Structure 1
Amino acid sequence: MVRTATPPGEIGHRAPDFSLKGTDGKTWTRDTVRGDNGLVVAFICNHCPYVKAVIDRFVEDSAALQAKGVGVVAIMPNDWNVYTDDAPDRMVAFAVGHGFTFPYLIDETQDVARAYGAVCTPDVFGYGRDLTLKYRGRIDSSGREPSGPDTRRELREAMIEVAENDTVPAGQQASIGCSIKWRS
């Protein structure tokens, strides 16, 4: 595991389009997952300890954001031939086990992760109504630690601001996670 921090987001850049197969067998695009008030694109995987530490809070926050009209999608970019815990059949079990209310997609070619500039898991991008980048930061302030009463739900707070005001939230903190496992 190589620990990586996300670079600052290029605020204002448009969300790249994609067409990827989900764990549900359907093909999803950027436009079929977006909501009226924005879109969250999260690059995650099954095996990363950083993802495992926040996944249940991410699912909870995603449901709250979906209720505000923000679409949510998770994309698994890793080479599952080397990291077998990230294989598509295990993605299905992971999504079901954590109660995903959003599509979990497989980036087989890793082209989508490259187009977004994703570098780690979790790597989260939040877009406004016009699909321009408004947030690139962490899910919450806990990192790999258990959440506590002082844990700030940064993604949730930021994307509610985006949904309600379509503004760029201040004070964005980089996400830290495992580096994406690129194919050689």
Structure 2
Amino acid sequence: MVALSTPNLDTNFSAQDFNLLGVDNKYYSLNDFCNFKALIVMFICNHCPYVKAIITKLVHDMKELHIKYNVGAVAIMSNDTESYPEDSYENMVLFAKEHKFNFPYLIDDTQEVAKKYGAVCTPDFFGFNSELKLCYRGCFDKSGMNEINNEQKDRDLLNAMVYIVTTGKPAENQRSSIGCSIKWKG
């Protein structure tokens, strides 16, 4: 397992459209998320230890952001499922159910969406303001693969999204996300 870090924030980047199948057997596009004050597009998968380490807290924070701040969220799985069968659509359905996802979990089987976003690892977080301009490209929190730190000051993604909802501007002092590389098809 090679750990990769996300690139620095590109404030000229805007959310890219997609049309992907969710674990609820419905298709979603960017238009489905345009009525929120902010949007998180995250690239995750089922097998990555970095994702597994934060998944419970991630689901909790996405619920809090949605209810208190009207922040939308969508998770996209772009890994090669032939080489990594644990990330198959069927296993995505189970993973989302097991962890009680409160946001759509979509499969990017062509990997085109991951390429359009420039996703490099799982987890990889993109936080957009209400105009769908990129304002956050950082980590979930400082815990990495360690037990989640519940202190408010260390909740990077949540705090950044609250700042973005409040100001519409990029969050300051962004720390790169670290995770397993996207598993690209041969």
TM-score normalised by the shorter chain: which range applies?
over 0.9
TM-superposed deviation, 1:21: 0.5
TM-superposed deviation, 1:38: 1.1
**How high is the TM-score relative to the length of structure 1?**
0.97
**How high is the TM-score relative to the length of structure 2?**
0.96
| Residue 158 of structure 2 is aligned to residue 156 of structure 1 | yes
Query: Which residue number in structure 1 is paired with residue 145 of structure 2?
Result: 144
SS at match of 1:36: coil
Higher alpha-carbon deviation: 114-123 or 7-16 = 7-16
CA shift digits 1:75-127 (9 cap, x unpaired): 00000111010000000010011110000000010000000000000000000
SS at match of 2:20: strand
Q: How far apart in 2 are the matches of 1:155 and 1:121?
A: 15
- Alignment RMSD: 1.1
Query: Which residue number in structure 1 is paired with residue 82 of structure 2?
Result: 81
Runs (5+) with no aligned partner, structure 2: none
Query: Which residue number in structure 2 is paired with residue 4 of structure 1?
Result: 4
Query: Which residue number in structure 2 is paired with residue 113 of structure 1?
Result: 114
Query: Which residue number in structure 2 is paired with residue 170 of structure 1?
Result: 172
What amino acid is the match of 2:13?
A: H
Equivalent residues in 2 for 1:14-29 (5 A)?
Answer: 14-29=14-29
| Residue 11 of structure 2 is aligned to residue 32 of structure 1 | no
TM-superposed deviation, 1:133: 0.1
Contact 1:35/1:70 (<8 A) preserved: no
TM-superposed deviation, 1:35: 4.0
Q: How far apart in 2 are the matches of 1:36 and 1:111?
A: 24
What amino acid is the match of 1:160?
A: V
| Count of residue pairs the alignment pairs up | 184
Q: How far apart in 2 are the matches of 1:138 and 1:16?
A: 20
Runs (5+) with no aligned partner, structure 1: none
